[in-house]
Structure 1
Amino acid sequence: MGRSRRDALRALAVAGAPGLAGCGGGGGETPTGTGDSGTVRPSDSPTDPTTDPTSTDDPPAELVLRPHEAVPDAPLAVFPAGLRDWLREAARTGGSVRGHESVPVYAPDPLVAEFRTVDLRTPGGELDGTFEVRAEGGPRYELRLSADPVESVPTDGTVTEVSSLPADRRELAVDAIEGNWPGAYPETERGEWVREEFFGGHFEREGRTYLGSEAEQTDAAFFSTTVWTVLSMTPVEDDGVDADPVALRFPEIGHGVRAAVEDALADWEGTGREGRAWLEPEHRPEAVAAFAAGTGALLTHTAAFSVAVE
């Protein structure tokens, strides 16, 4: 029986008792019920549970991520799935790995671009070792190409004949010269050529020389929430390392732990303050606590964090 119905029955019983007494005549006992008539006996009315807050349950725990101002000395647990894949592929192949991934911050810059050497420890140990790192990246948006005619070229400058370019690059250069603002994404091979050679380069077409540049796009980088990275890694001997390498670890991260970390990162959103997430049953709080206790620091695409459950 719900509380509202129970309260209504109690009210009927209390209101009905004086009326019954008045009908019973002088000297009669006040009846407390009418047998099988259905009238509730006051003595049998259910008792409301107390509404006072007497619970002694512990309050829910929180996962807390606090950003480091610099790369910490502690081993870093690599969190983003994309970054894990890029690092392992770069270590395995020795070639350039190109990728992009959404992040919870605006205008992201990849922290891995600050690393010079890393010490990898991977599940199974097949990729363990020390590696020299070459990485670049930034906020991902489509670069737009422009080209303006110039009257002269610096004495140490080089002029490239547009017709000598490979077909895909020639198409970009011609479109830029004709004012069509062609585009390329920065992490692609095409985008790498645009960044490194077209922007600031001189190109000749039909007897005129042009200076390649990026067409201005107001706030395109600022409002980007996707990070791009081009990464390569080369094995090195320990005695060939000038400084202590950044220790990178690849622990198993369960679904509940990953969800809790993602919630805390969403709370952080690159503001510089700490990120917090209440631990719900679906997070498996005991697993989150074990992960926090065994993690020196957490590495995302753009920052490193201390990890705690409070």
Structure 2
Amino acid sequence: MPDERIDTLVIGGGQAGLTMSHRLKQRGIAHLVLERRRIAERWRSERWDGLMFQFPNWSVRLPEFAFPHSDPDGFSDTASIIAFIEDYAAFVAPPIRCGVEVTKLRRDADGFLAEIAGGSITARNVVIATGPYQRPLRPDVLDGHPGLFQVHASGYKNPAQLPDGAVLVIGAGASGAQITDELVRAGRHVFLSVGRHNRLPRRYRGRDLFWWLAEMGVDATPVEQRGPSRLLPVISGAHGGHTIDFRRFAADGVTLLGRVAAACSRSRPISPATSPMATPTTRHSSGSSTTSSRPAASIIPTIPWRASACPNRRPSLRRCARSTCARSGSAA
């Protein structure tokens, strides 16, 4: 028998779970929010020190709750976003229990049965508000390289965390691009593995990209209706907000690579599906792979990986004996 019964159970105490609680309270629907750790936990423990939110301050908002700022066109750091979510939680005052993890969820005769440590809860409705990237994607393609230092983006904090040497960043989305920029500014030589992406300007005709997307209604359009490409634009909120231009990265000394497809003994095959862009730099090839006299000593994956068999005669990135690998992508 379940220990508790509730009309609606909300799993997750981040901004999505808090917003759902806000709306349920307005409708008088009895509910309970369970958060396995703390409110806004991923913002607290799974963000790097120098992260700047890529959305301009004017666009940051939650239902009936404005984001406090002095510069509408500026960008906020992690601490400001955490404080905002905490203030919103105080405003909503949700019926929430922190430190309670749902370990299993299944249907039963009364709706759903959620198992928690030491008990269970039956709910007629369940809202899963854990976000799209609940677990870091840690592929096994590099498990055979025990001397290679690896860290996922959720565990990356700053350049000083990595051993000396070059860094391979796998994935060039918002996280990968901003981490690459940070590492370059710290004096590291960076290899950047680039997959499919949308390249759009940070600003156009004096307006931020998100202003234009909002005017076109893209932010209110379901993902399934956005056309063949659902990729988010690669832009950054760091250093006042700027366009991510991979050609500029190459000009600044970043070695651009294609998509990592597998890891084999002492080499790392680079898929020809995404060819590096041709640039006037001695450490860059215009083909589907790039090798350098300065092999990577750190790796930060930032996109989902799929392990594959080691193909023969594929272009590869050579690895030195002292290597580091940092993964920076979730299953975003």
Verify same fold: TM over 0.5: no
**TM-score band (shorter)?**
under 0.3
Larger radius of gyration: 1
Higher helix share: 1
**Structure with larger RCO (C-alpha < 8 A, sep 6+):** 1
TM-score normalised to structure 2 length: 0.24
